[in-house]
A and B are shown apart, each in its own frame.
Chain A
Amino acid sequence: MIPLVIGVSALSYAVIIFAPGDPATLLVDREQMTAETYTAMRIELGLDDPAPVRYVKTMRSLFTGELRSFRTKQRVVDTIAERAPATLTLGVLAIIFGLVFGTLIGVAQATRPYSRLDDLGTILSLTGFSIPHFWFALMLIMLFGVRLHWLPPSGIRPIGSSDWNPIAMAPYLVMPTIVLGTGLLAYVARFVRSSMLEALGQDYIRTARAKGLRERIVVLRHALRNSLLPVITIVGFILPLLIGGAVIVENVFALPGMGRLAVDAVFARDYPVILTVTIFSAIAVIIGNLISDILYAVADPRIRYG
């Protein structure tokens, strides 16, 4: 994992600093920039050091927690600590939403294959998978936020509240969760449907039915349990997609999360912030994969890692 993190950080650092644009020109409004300010700014940000030196310096201060944003001068770890709860809350809710409803739809489809219901499920999941996040988000905002007044159009909690009160926050999180979770839902539904169909054709299902078990028990206890195994792997590789989605969802719903932090940092060429967010996301994906591997072994006794 450590070599992976080093690789990711070096590669992203290279990509960041080779992108056109000079951070020093963006920190001061053009109208207020003078030659002296510009020079001082480049020295302060250490932009005139050679790239490898800057990389080592940046990584060292990242690990001591002293790395600071070019723009706000706040410690990047502090900013991320401030922004992570929103993204984590949203991510967990979206995963739960996607898994629960995706499984329900998939099971419903698999038990009545090639029926009207199955077709409807297929259309729904294909739509859910292809719908652009920002368009979907704007449509929901316009309908439920502006027209019907059912939900607040944006934000994460009521104005004036500073705590993380789940009840007060719930209405704010409904639309973002749906938008972010819909892709996962569609994915899970497709997966569950096909592995469920495969499981329902197996010998042990016939045996179960022959024993005289009720269809409910056959489907839920025997078939579903086995067909959920592959779904565990999805969660591992859906994480990068969720992070990508969070960038857009957080922007449209004005949520104070890490995805938005990343976008703002890119537009300000705030190298320390971009790098830290990238490394954090990389670690999240690595851990996600690790967890799904472990879960896989736990769920399926046949799998043993040497």
Chain B
Amino acid sequence: MAKDELSTTRKLSRRQFMQLSGGAAAYAALLACQPSSPVSGSPTPGGATSAPTAKVGGQAIISLGEPDTLGPTSRALVGAYIFSFIANGLVRLKYPDMTVVPDLADSFSPSSDGKTYTFNLHKGVKWHNGQAFSADDVKFTFEFMAHPNNPAPLSIDLANIVGAKDFKEKKATEITGVKASADKIEISLIAPSPNFLTSLAVTKILPKAVLANVSPADIAKDPFARKPIYTGPFKVDEWKSGESVTYSAFTDHFRGRPNLDKIVQRIFPDPSTALAELRSGGIQQAFVTADQFADFQSNPQYQTQQLAGTTGWFLSWDMTNKTFPFGEKPFRQAVSMAIDRKTLVATVFKGLADENYSLASPLSWVYNANAPKNPFDQAKAKQLLDDLGWKVGSGGIREKGGVRLEYATMVTTTTRDWFLAIQPMLQAVGIGTTKVDVVDFPTWISRLNVGKYESTVNGWGNFAIDPRSDLAAHFRSPRTSGDATGYKNDQVDALFAQAATAVSQEEQKRIYDQIQMLAEGDAVYAYLIRPKVLEVNVKALSLPQAKIQAEIYDGMPQWGLS
């Protein structure tokens, strides 16, 4: 979710208004009209005229959100998508299982004690400005991140590098634990860390020659933030604020040039505009919502892909609440069993969603398929609530000790639509759902962070970081991010502590499997659905087959015009 939420929120409220204003029929009729040819209006001189077999050359215009910055301080998901085709790390993440594979380093190996990693760098790598990449750039990148002038605190993984702390505190002039030699980088850690390699994958290597005189505090203000220089297959040509970002093929890229000559990323504040452009041929690729997808699926001029949902949605509660039974496991299980996910998928998402039963994505390596689930079972839900002493009272709402089981649910304009479908399911087991707080995304997230809510429709994006951090962010106590459910299980916490030092992959998997057995067994959340991510592109443009959205951008070098 995160920033994506903003655009979805505005789009949905518009559609509702369309329905209210009676414009929906006319709108639908106009939407349904056949475009004469999706590529005809497109200004793609290279692509449109090239022979059908041509694989190299041409340009594609796509719809993608505006990044905050293209420098190393970017904190937006869209920034991560863009970095995957303009920059490189020593290693990268393989989608969708999120394992670590080589990138700028051809190979890497940990020492037997797990405290020293040696990376053999790829030879002949060039920066976008034509200069040669070297091991010094890698060392420079670490020192840039840990620089005393860098306002960002040392991340746990950075602090674990020998000498990084001294460097940050100005006690040393270099990070002694990072040694650069001709084609090698050697990194020494204070303690073996299973997360170290994953943290390297999100650290994009910076050019020393370009940034040596830029203070890390000022990097976001430097021209680099708008027109950066990296080593990736595409380079940034121009970023026109609020309008577009243009990328061109970096022909000297160390893994060979990408197929397309140019990518133009257009920035649409309103998804219906992007949709109109996709239909008129103004853009060649975009992501659309479930209600628009069927039209493109049945149109031979387009190609579509249904990708796995990046965001899993669930109901969550402030478990510290004393009035309502949010802290009691059978209550949470009962809510989960009251949810008819099949109906939710069929009605609200037109079948374009998966049922959700876990925090971890079923595609990631940490996922434990055997962790307890609480599928739809209305009778059992009622039984559980009865056993807790909440008996059906007036109006079919359960009561206990004079308190009616009727609490407030905080939703955004997006999740409100879904909650409308959930309300009758909860009411059917005697939970009152008439108190609904509709707030905007910024309000929602700050109230969630300080625990100022009773219950909410909550979502979590799975492929933003290390899948292990997904679990830690929700099940470990105290939480690193502030969102307050108040969940605490000492056994789970002990397992997280154990996981921090277990280096082997098998050991990691075993511990995280156990964590899920316990935490999912506690029914921390009542899981709902994972909406599929729906990709559409014109037939003339071929994209690699993908399982998740990040792969589409990661695979940008393979995009080509036929």
Q: Are B243 and A155 in contact (CB under 8 A)?
A: yes
A35 to B484, CA, bound (A): 13
- Asked if B443 is at the interface (CB within 8 A of a chain A CB), the reply is yes
Q: Are B272 and A22 in contact (CB under 8 A)?
A: no
Which residues between 277 and 306 of chain B lie within 8 Å of chain A, taking CB atoms? 277, 279-280, 282
Q: Contacts A20-B443, A79-B241, A263-B269; is A31 near B460 (CB within 8 Å)?
A: yes
A152 to B272, CA, bound (A): 14
Select the stretch in A201-209, A223-231, A248-256 that faces chain B.
A248-256
A142 to B35, CA, bound (A): 10
- Asked if A44 is at the interface (CB within 8 A of a chain B CB), the reply is yes
Number of interface residues of B (CB under 8 A): 74
Q: Mark B202-233, 1 if CB is under 8 A from A, else 0.
A: 00000000000000000011000110000000
Q: Contacts A30-B1, A30-B481; is A139 near B30 (CB within 8 Å)?
A: yes
- Asked if A132 is at the interface (CB within 8 A of a chain B CB), the reply is yes
- Asked if B500 is at the interface (CB within 8 A of a chain A CB), the reply is no
* List of B residues within 8 angstroms of A154 by Cβ: 268, 273, 276-277, 282
Partner of A269 from B41, B43, B442 at Cβ < 8 Å: B442
Please give me the residue from chain A that is nearest to B151 by CB atom: A44
Q: Contacts A152-B41, A152-B282; is A34 near B3 (CB within 8 Å)?
A: no
Q: Contacts A40-B151, A142-B30, A146-B276; is A21 near B442 (CB within 8 Å)?
A: yes
* List of A residues within 8 angstroms of B440 by Cβ: 21, 267
A299 to B23, CA, bound (A): 44
- Asked if B513 is at the interface (CB within 8 A of a chain A CB), the reply is no
A250 to B482, CA, bound (A): 36
A141 to B36, CA, bound (A): 15
Instruction: Find the residue from A44, A142, A149, A252 having the highest chain B CB count within 10 A.
Output: A142
- Asked if A36 is at the interface (CB within 8 A of a chain B CB), the reply is yes
Q: Are B221 and A68 in contact (CB under 8 A)?
A: yes
Select the stretch in A53-61, A96-104, A158-166, A277-285 that faces chain B.
A158-166
- Asked if B25 is at the interface (CB within 8 A of a chain A CB), the reply is no
Q: Are B268 and A254 in contact (CB under 8 A)?
A: yes
- Asked if B380 is at the interface (CB within 8 A of a chain A CB), the reply is no
* List of B residues within 8 angstroms of A74 by Cβ: 221, 225-226
* List of B residues within 8 angstroms of A30 by Cβ: 1-2, 445, 460-461, 481, 483
* List of A residues within 8 angstroms of B73 by Cβ: 73
Q: Are B225 and A73 in contact (CB under 8 A)?
A: yes
Q: Are A32 and B464 in contact (CB under 8 A)?
A: yes
- Asked if B329 is at the interface (CB within 8 A of a chain A CB), the reply is no
Number of interface residues of A (CB under 8 A): 67
- Asked if B93 is at the interface (CB within 8 A of a chain A CB), the reply is no
- Asked if A89 is at the interface (CB within 8 A of a chain B CB), the reply is no
- Asked if B68 is at the interface (CB within 8 A of a chain A CB), the reply is yes
- Asked if A222 is at the interface (CB within 8 A of a chain B CB), the reply is no
- Asked if A64 is at the interface (CB within 8 A of a chain B CB), the reply is no
Q: Are B220 and A72 in contact (CB under 8 A)?
A: yes
Q: Mark B61-77, 1 if CB is under 8 A from A, else 0.
A: 10000101100010111
A134 to B277, CA, bound (A): 16
Q: Are B242 and A37 in contact (CB under 8 A)?
A: no
Please give me the residue from chain B that is nearest to A36 by CB atom: B153
Q: Are B36 and A22 in contact (CB under 8 A)?
A: no
- Report A72 CB to chain B, min CB distance, Å: 6
* List of B residues within 8 angstroms of A37 by Cβ: 152-153
Q: Report A's interface with B, CB cutoff 8 A.
A: 20-23, 25-40, 43-44, 68, 71-75, 79, 82-83, 132, 134-135, 138-139, 141-143, 145-147, 149, 152-156, 158-160, 162, 250-257, 260-261, 263-264, 267-269
Instruction: Report 20 cross-chain contacts, Cβ distance below 8 Å, ordered by A residue.
Output: A22-B442, A25-B442, A30-B461, A30-B481, A31-B465, A31-B473, A34-B481, A40-B153, A72-B225, A82-B241, A138-B272, A146-B30, A146-B35, A147-B33, A154-B273, A252-B272, A254-B243, A254-B269, A257-B242, A264-B66
